[in-house]
């Protein structure tokens, strides 16, 4: 895989926990959950959208924190998806995208099928070794600590070289 491959990317699909978060959850005494996200990742997503790259989350997590973060980022949110591959394929068909025009970022074994299916399968630096092994690219940053911004910069930097 080389930088040229990033030029083809028209859609970036992200897992949520462990990609946009550091994979931890804070639970208060009432059961309310909260997560930590990177503002740097948010800015990277904003820049991708401005450049015409579609960005969406496909997550197993059902907690409303996923939808809240996606709403703030103004990206599509597919959550409570136990089998991500059919949802990923449906999005490609719906948006008339080839696999080569897509990237999927994951961190765990539930992401492996999508990592393998995407044009560029990406794992964050602290991903489960089985997911990282299947990825075409592993970020230098950890999930929730700028990994998505790193990917955004790669996609945008390569597109701007044209």
pLDDT given for residue 4 in this prediction:
77
- Total number of domains constituting the chain: 1
Q: Are 141 and 27 in contact (CB under 8 A)?
A: no
Q: Are 18 and 38 in contact (CB under 8 A)?
A: no
Half-sphere exposure of 47 (CA within 13 A, CB side): 18
Residues 74-97 have pLDDT tens digits of: 999 999 999 999 999 999 999 999
Residue 32 scores a pLDDT above 70:
yes
Predicted local distance difference test score (pLDDT) of residue 158:
52
Q: What is the CA radius of gyration of the chain?
A: 15
Is pLDDT at 162 greater than 50 in this prediction? Answer: no
* pLDDT digits 0-9 by tens, 40-82: 999 999 999 999 999 999 999 999 999 999 999 999 999 999 9
Rounded Cα distance between 50 and 43, Å, is 11
Give the three-state DSSP class for 39.
helix
d(CA 91, CA 107): 20
3 — pLDDT class (breaks 50, 70, 90): confident
Structural domain boundaries enclosing 99: 3-160
Question: For residue 108, how many other CB atoms are within 10 A of its CB?
Answer: 19
> pTM surpassing 0.85?
yes
The confidence score (pLDDT) of residue 157 equals 85
pLDDT digits (tens, 9 = 90+) for 110-161: 999 999 999 999 999 999 999 999 999 999 999 999 999 999 999 998 544 4
CATH number, domain at 128?
Answer: 3.40.50.1000
Q: What is the pLDDT of residue 21?
A: 97
* pLDDT at residue number 10: 97
């Amino acid at each position: 895989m080389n930088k040229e491959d990033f030029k083809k990317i028209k859609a970036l699909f992200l897992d949520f926990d462990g990609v946009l978060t550091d994979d931890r959850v804070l639970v208060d005494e009432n059961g309310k959950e909260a997560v930590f996200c990177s503002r740097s990742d948010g800015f990277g997503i904003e820049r991708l959208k401005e450049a015409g790259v579609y960005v969406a989350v496909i997550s197993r997590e059902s907690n409303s924190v996923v939808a809240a973060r996606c709403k703030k980022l103004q990206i599509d949110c597919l959550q409570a998806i136990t089998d991500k591959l059919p949802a990923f394929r449906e999005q490609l068909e719906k948006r008339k995208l080839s696999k080569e025009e897509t990237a999927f970022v994951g961190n765990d074994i539930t992401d492996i099928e999508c990592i393998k299916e995407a044009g560029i399968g990406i794992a964050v630096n602290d991903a489960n070794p089985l997911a990282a092994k299947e990825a075409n690219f592993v970020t230098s940053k950890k999930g929730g600590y700028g990994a998505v911004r790193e990917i955004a910069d790669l996609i945008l930097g390569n597109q701007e070289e044209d």
